[in-house]
Amino acid sequence: MSGPHIVVCAGETSGDNLAAGMMRSLRERRPDLVFTGMGGEAMRDAGAETLIDVSELAVMGLWEVITQYRRLRGLLHRMQRHLEETRPALLVLVDYVEFNLRLGAHARRLGIPVLFYVSPQIWAWRQKRIHRIKRSVDAMAVLFPFETRVYKEHGVPVRYVGNPLVDQMDAPLRDLRRELGIPEGTRLLGLLPGSRRGEIQRHWPVLLATARCLQRECENLHFLVPLAPGIRGEYLEALAPTESLPITLLTGPGRAREVMAASELLLISSGTATLEAALLRTPMIVIYRMSPISHALFSRLVRVPHVALANIVGGGRLVPERLQRAAEPASLCREALDLLRNPTQLAAMRDALEAVRSRLGPGGADRRAADVALELLETGRLRQEPD
């Protein structure tokens, strides 16, 4: 017989991976659980039946969300109907804040307990969202210890579970240089344009132009590009061709982490990937571009001095950030060359990134997130832990 039904909803690749880790830990203790929802390949591999794939939800920036509002609303209504028809024992929402908070509010009206896994960055912008969160969820599971304070102050049950990346970054890696037959002495640089198509469209031509500039100025370079799930090499080639560049495109799970570990320097889109790279202590230059309208809106709302998670968690400017117009090939090339020609500076950046690991705490986040889900599933509430 089938056991309790849990609906899990993730809207991006990073959330898909987080959800899958939690699901696997739940299944170890409750093999009878049934999972449906929205997600990607990782959730399906962990045993979920997905009604909506993350590729259907991949938009970036406030303006882009506005222009895609009708399509996203249709997907939201589809998930709302799924809740109404199946009445699951628990709804787990993983990041993808605006969409998932609307779904959470609908679930609570139906009497379905709601766990939100991964806190919105209310400590960085739009702090008043805490009131909406309180109306939309029964409990929060957060990745960073400093996130619990605001929820406790507003009476939202919260549990710090840690960050699953700590465990993932400790997993053994293949020797990418040997696998690809790249000679010793060749300097490896990673290019990571992001996981969403909107990000890739804005970042890939910039990164490729930067790579061409670096190739002209520096000998013995080879560029590595891990492709996000659902992104094919032909898509990148259509945006900007790689002809005549010493470059390797890599597909499959775990490739981004292998590229980060093997590379001397990364040119990387801001996002969870910067945290992964920081845990591997790989030097990086962080870039991000969005539409001018989205940038204008975010600039009015954001209240933190950094955008890269490596810097936010590390507590300072550990790695350079180049945003909007500052993320252009000539300046990126100059900054990358300065680092490549200064081994002492690269070593200092690696040492500084050690602060990120120490601030994230111990491993075991998948298990602790599953503990929170089971507590809600079995009792309908989350007990408040002492400070």
387 pLDDT band, cuts 50/70/90, is low
pLDDT band at residue 366 using 50, 70 and 90 as cut-offs: very high
pLDDT score at 1: 46
Does residue 170 lie within any of the structural domains?
no
What pLDDT is stored for residue 386 in this prediction?
A: 62
Cβ neighbour number for residue 23 with a 10 Å cutoff? 27
φ, ψ dihedrals at 196, nearest 5°: -95, 150
Which span out of 94-103, 118-127, 307-316 was modeled with the highest average pLDDT?
Answer: 94-103
- Whether residue 226 sits in one domain with residue 127: no
Residues 82 and 134 in one domain: yes
262 and 186 assigned to the same domain:
yes
Domain-embedded: residue 169: no
Q: Are residues 17 and 75 in the same domain?
A: yes
Query: What is the domain-level CATH number for residue 111?
Result: 3.40.50.2000
Chain centre to alpha carbon of residue 67: 23
- pLDDT at residue 123 is higher than 90: no
User: Residue 236 — pLDDT band, cuts 50, 70, 90?
Assistant: very high
Q: Does residue 270 sit within a domain?
A: yes
In a shared domain, residues 342 and 242: yes
- What residue numbers bound the domain in which 212 lies? 176-360
Number of domains the chain contains: 2
Average pLDDT along the chain: 89
Residue that is written with structure tokens 């895609």 in the block:
68
The residue among 82, 98, 140 whose CA lies nearest residue 115 is 140
Task: Output the pLDDT for position 383.
Answer: 82
| Region at 253 (left for phi over 0; alpha for psi -120 to 50; beta for the rest) | beta
pLDDT of 136 higher than 60? yes
Q: 89 is written with which tokens?
A: 């024992």
Over residues 172-198, the pLDDT tens digits come to: 678 899 999 999 999 999 999 998 888
Sheet harboring 90-94: ordered strands across? 48-53, 34-39, 5-10, 90-94, 114-117, 139-142, 158-160
201 and 337 belong to one structural domain: yes
- Examine residue 37 and state whether it is found in any structural domain, yes or no: yes
Claim to verify: residue 91 and residue 232 sit in the same structural domain: no
Instruction: Read off the DSSP letter of residue 302.
Output: B
Q: Are residues 80 and 110 in the same domain?
A: yes
Span 283-312, average pLDDT: 74
- Give the mean pLDDT of 61-90: 81
Structure confidence at residue 63 (pLDDT): 46
> Do residue 52 and residue 129 come from a single domain?
yes
* Within a domain: 196: yes
What would the two tokens of residue 155 be?
């009476």
Q: What is the pLDDT of residue 160?
A: 93
Q: Is the Cβ–Cβ distance between 352 and 318 less than 8 Å?
A: yes
pLDDT tier at 113, thresholds 50, 70, 90: very high
Tell me the range of 59-68, 117-126, 222-231 where mean pLDDT is highest.
222-231
Question: Does 213 map to a domain?
Answer: yes
Question: Looking at residue 271, what is its pLDDT?
Answer: 86
Q: Mind listing the pLDDT tens digit for each residue in 12-66?
A: 888 898 999 999 999 999 999 999 999 999 999 999 999 999 877 665 444 455 5
Structural domain contains residue 330: yes
Same domain, 222 and 332: yes
Each residue's pLDDT tens digit, 301-352: 555 667 788 998 888 899 999 988 899 999 999 999 999 999 999 999 999 9
Asked if residue 368 and residue 356 are part of one domain, the reply reads: no
- What is the length of the chain? 387
276-298 residues labelled b (16+ CB within 10 A) or e (exposed)? bbbbbbbbbbbbbbbbeebbebe
Report yes or no on 387 lying in a domain. no
Instruction: Give the integer Cα–Cα distance in Å for 165 and 42.
Output: 15
Does 301 lie in the same domain as 315?
A: yes
pLDDT at site 43: 96
